[in-house]
Amino acid sequence: MKKLLLILVALAIATPVFAEITKKTVVDRMEILENGIIQVRFGLVLIEDGEEISRTYHRTSLPPGTNIDSQMIAVNNNLSDMKKETVSTTEIDKIKDHANVSWTATVVKDYQDKQILEKLDI
Q: What contacts 19, CB < 8 A, 6 or more positions away?
A: 48, 49
Measure Cα distances from 40 to 9, 33, 48, 72, 104 in Å.
Answer: 52, 11, 25, 11, 19
Q: Give residue-wise pLDDT tens across range 66-113.
A: 999 999 999 999 999 999 999 999 999 999 999 999 999 999 999 999
Dist CA 16 CA 71 (whole Å)? 42
Q: What percent of the chain stands above pLDDT 90?
A: 79
Average pLDDT, rounded, for the chain: 90
Q: Which phi and psi angles does 76 have, rounded to 5°?
A: -65, -35
Q: Which phi and psi angles does 66 have, rounded to 5°?
A: -65, 145
Q: Where are the domains of the chain?
A: 19-120
| More confidently predicted of 35 and 120 | 35
Q: What contacts 122, CB < 8 A, 6 or more positions away?
A: none
